[in-house]
Copies of this chain bind each other. A is one copy, B any other.
Amino acid sequence: MTIKMVADHAVWPKANDAIFGLAAKAKDAIAKYGKENVIDSTLGALVDDDGNLICMDTVYNELKSLPNADIAAYAQVAGQPDYLKAVQDACFKEYKPNAHIRAVATPGGTGSIRHAIWNYTNPGDSILVCDWFWAPYVTISEEFGRTVTNYKLFNEKGEFNIDSYKENFEALLNKQKRLVTVINTPANNPTGYSLSDEEWEQVLDIAKDNAKDKENKIIIVVDVAYIDYAGVGSERRKFFSKFSNLPENIFVIVGYSMSKGFTMYGMRSGAAIGISSNEDLAEEFYYSCMHANRANWSNGTRAAMSIMTNIYNDPSKLKAYENEVNKYKDMLRKRANAFVKGSKDVDLEILPYRDGFFVSIPCENAKKASDELIKEKIFVVALKKGLRFAVCAVSEEKCAVAPAAIKKVLDNLK
């Protein structure tokens, strides 16, 4: 190319989404060999045993019975007020922190992560993220001239690696005096790990200890994109109550998404929820995010907000919706259990799974492993440090047999 027109910071490689490419290959294989002979574990969306995307009836019946004007009208820049109330109920359930809380509507969870990184870091800062992470944390950080530092998610016992977290947390904070740390729990993508309440205590103890230096500004971003499929009841939300009465220089931002819990991936709705013991700081968050909303996408998808509001404000609709979510949560749990058991039976090493859409298999040369698995008609996403198997997208029956097939391919690569 002789000249460039975009500014230097906005030049990016010609990279298309690898997962979409793999999903297209899986689709071709299904057409060729029949769906019973293919395991398509590519996309991060709930799929039924026949390979069809699950779309909750309670959600789509609500959408299709909305008055057109409730879909057509602009939402307010920060989000519809009744939505901003409902989304807190949906997120926290009975574990709402005793704190000053403000919510702002965002497109999916991505918008909330983006706001946290843009609004709470300076150019050149590094964001703290574990080494098994959702790739867009890096995309977002790099887009804005920030970098990502990884700590080790697991120690040798397969628990949260609090030592690695502390070491990296303090090194970055001492250098930057300001730190955004993104914790993707419960149901981490890609491992399915969820921090225990005790592990959360340890994380918060480190933050509180470092908050004694009032010059330090600590921002804990909790990405709960998969929370609606975590645990059995609402026990995986208990940690929210630990965000009560924190020192004012610890600010918590919860990134909530409607994509998974409402099977509304394509409707782009979620929220950034700011939590502080200081009301001024909660207000500061609100107006900072509102300005960012206006400057990036103006306002959110009105229909998605109305759906949540209408469901949460009608006990019978809420009951029906919760029954439907729980049905799929059970389905997911059975699939994951089958995969975990299948792995144990054949001695396939997997990372500790607790909840959610994915299980991860650590391995060398994951790209090569993924390519070899394609020959076996198994489509699994290659990550830097292993393979991501999407139990959300594969039937229980196939989840039970996949580990043996994966084990065989990995052994052959050794």
By a beta-carbon cutoff of 8 Å, the part of chain A in contact with chain B is 1-15, 17, 20, 43, 45, 52-53, 55, 60, 63-64, 68-77, 106-108, 110-111, 114, 118-122, 136, 139-140, 142-144, 178, 214, 217, 219, 248-249, 251, 259, 263-268, 276, 278, 280-281, 283-285, 287-288, 290-292, 294-303
Contact = CB atoms under 8 A, between A and B. Distances in A.
Contacts of A297: 106-108, 110-111, 114, 268, 296-297
A10 B267 contact: no
Given A71-B60, A108-B298, A5 B265 contact: no
B6 A285 contact: yes
Contact of A276 (B5, B108, B140, B263): B5
A49 to B, nearest CB: 15
A276 B278 CA distance: 51
A345 B111 CA distance: 50
B303 A267 contact: yes
B72 A264 contact: yes
Contacts of A45: 72-74
A178 B110 CA distance: 31
Given A14-B287, A140-B294, 14 more contacts: A5-B251, A5-B285, A13-B287, A70-B266, A72-B264, A72-B265, A73-B266, A107-B268, A139-B291, A143-B291, A143-B296, A266-B299, A266-B301, A268-B298
A17 B107 contact: no
B302 A266 contact: yes
Contacts of A68: 55, 60
A71 B93 CA distance: 27
Nearest to A145: B123
Contacts of A280: 1
Nearest to A281: B5
Nearest to A219: B5
8 contacts: A5-B276, A52-B69, A53-B73, A55-B71, A55-B72, A71-B266, A72-B263, A136-B295
A246 B2 CA distance: 16
B268 A268 contact: yes
Question: Closest 9 A-B residue pairs measured CB to CB?
Answer: A266-B302, A143-B295, A55-B68, A10-B119, A107-B297, A12-B291, A110-B298, A1-B280, A55-B72
Contacts of A251: 5
A296 B263 CA distance: 21
Given A3-B248, A72-B266, A120-B6, A15 B298 contact: no
Contact of A284 (B6, B143, B295): B6
Nearest to A141: B295
A7 B108 contact: no
Contacts of A298: 107-108, 110, 136, 268
Contacts of A7: 119-122, 178
B249 A6 contact: no
A10 B287 CA distance: 9
Contacts of A69: 52-53, 55
